[in-house]
Amino acid sequence: MEINELYGIFKASSGIATDSRKILGGELFFALAGENFDGNEYAEKALQAGASYAVVSGQSAVARKCASADCPADLKDRVIPVADTLKTLQELARWHRSMSLVNGKPIPVIGLTGTNGKTTTKELIKAVLSLRYNVSATEGNLNNSIGVPLTLLKIRPESEIAIVEMGASHPGDIRELVSVCLPNFGLITNVGKAHLLGFGSFEGVKKAKGELYDYIQRTADKVFLNMDNSELRAMAAERPDLQTIPYGVKYCGAEILESGEDHPYLRIRLADENIEIDTNLVGSYNADNVMAALAVGAYFGIPHGDAAKAVAGYVPVNNRSQMVRTDTNTLIVDAYNANPTSMEAALVNFAGMHADRKAVFLGNMLELGKDSLAEHRKVIDKVREMKPEIACLVGPEFGNAASPGDSDAGIMFFATSAELSDYLDRHPVHGTTILIKGSRGTKMEQVVPHL
């Protein structure tokens, strides 16, 4: 089937579905396959549940069944065999992106990637742009080879700007994703030590993230560039024809105001305009994310004063830079993910916070490969330097990096977050400001109910 014919089917459908259990009726079902699942096995079930059509692998059992002479017409007519269901999904998304028009031209797309802060930056940009535009943006963390096309296929006829978050854990990931979303603008939040197991090194991270700059350079479009970030400046300089829209806390003459227990959230003053930006974000490291949103907003005609109000109204969710006040403690919950760069930023920020009593509950940083032992040791040394009243480190990577003197320094090690939770039930913590951070797989959010 030609892509324009499939696009007609998509336009007549109620949307895309990839899970047969979530069919509501009228969806175009894509039978995607992974290491632990094969959607082709559920294609018939999806059709029985009300999907209009099912796109399946031409090598699948359901495709062979439909090719047989005795296949029921109702099934044969609604099964669409293709060579590769994921590539077809991506091709359909690219087609839809190109066919989604604003004033007769394809919709502007902002492609966003980076080691840390992608989702927060995306949400802040969305909040700012939504003051003037109908914005379509990545939902949650749908930023991979499946999530990006699903994001694009949710662009609505009334959408005026799209923001597409792109994640990467291996070389070539960003190159693949930009070929699907075809961004007009690029923004890399930062580059740091993450997914080293897949990238091989920090240089590998920069090369992979730089694939966004490479694409924008070829299309002669523009990137939003944090001029305060030396790594990003160097990456841009390596591409001399790259057109940039500069921003940055220092570059813009902004000031990060001091935080404390009375004012725990990030506040920024734009001195030249006498504008103070109040946020619901914890950590000065979020200042770059705020300034990125202001830069994007300004480019699209939204004054800083209006953008500041939009930023002030954004409340983080899903364990990202959240402050949670329980009956007994104040929690800084940043447990969605962790890598050496974000862990260092969180610890430095926490060390500078004013609080009578502090504790750090940190979980493993995953996918660091051969650098894991050294990077976890650096975190332990930083914790020892900080000397919090309570320090609990969770996971085998921290355990492997431990030395005999760590216990003497008051650091406690736990195999899992569940084990730490049990300890907290037996040894309740009160009146303490607590940083909770770790990679998603460590599930550090599980300790929150015990505090």
How would you label 90-113 residue by residue, b for 16+ Cβ within 10 Å and e otherwise?
Answer: bbbbbbbbeebeeeeeebbbbbbb
- For residue 90, tell me if it sits in a domain: no
131 and 72, same structural domain?
no
How would you label 32-69 residue by residue, b for 16+ Cβ within 10 Å and e otherwise?
Answer: bbeeeeebbebbbebbebebbbbbbbeebebbebbeee
Q: What is the side-by-side strand order in the sheet with 275-278?
A: 254-256, 267-270, 275-278
- For residue 296, tell me if it sits in a domain: yes
- For residue 91, tell me if it sits in a domain: no
| pLDDT at residue 114, rounded to an integer | 93
CATH number at 54 reads: 3.40.1390.10
| pLDDT at residue 202, rounded to an integer | 83
> How far are the Cα atoms of 112, 198, 360, 380, 415 from residue 207, in angstroms, in the given order?
15, 12, 33, 29, 35
67 and 39, same structural domain?
yes
How would you label 181-218 residue by residue, b for 16+ Cβ within 10 Å and e otherwise?
Answer: bbbbbbbbbbbbbbbbebbbebeebbbbbbbbbbbbbe
Helices 173-181 and 85-99, interaxial angle, to 10°? Answer: 40
| pLDDT at residue 334, rounded to an integer | 85
| pLDDT at residue 182, rounded to an integer | 97
328 and 244, same structural domain?
no
- For residue 354, tell me if it sits in a domain: yes
Secondary structure of residue 98 in the 3-state scheme: helix
159 and 297, same structural domain?
yes
227 and 180, same structural domain?
yes
Tokens representing residue 341 in the block: 């760069």
Q: How far apart are the first and last CA of the chain?
A: 57
350 and 284, same structural domain?
no
Tokens representing residue 63 in the block: 């495709």
Contacts of 374 (CB under 8 A, 6+ apart): 401
262 and 165, same structural domain?
yes
According to DSSP, residue 357 is labeled S
Domain that holds residue 63: 3-85
306 and 176, same structural domain?
yes
Q: What is the value of pTM for the model shown?
A: 0.89
**Taken in order 280, 282, 286, 287, is the CA torsion positive or negative?**
positive
220 and 305, same structural domain?
yes
* Rounded distance between C-alpha atoms, residue 128 and residue 111, angstroms: 16
- How many structural domains compose the chain? 3
10-residue block means of pLDDT along the chain (451 residues)? 95 96 96 90 95 95 90 89 97 97 96 93 97 95 94 97 93 95 97 79 89 96 97 95 96 88 84 90 92 98 97 84 87 86 89 89 91 94 94 95 90 95 95 92 92 92
10 and 157, same structural domain?
no
Q: Centre a 10 Å sphere on the Cβ of residue 434 and count the other Cβ atoms it contains.
A: 26
CATH number at 124 reads: 3.40.1190.10
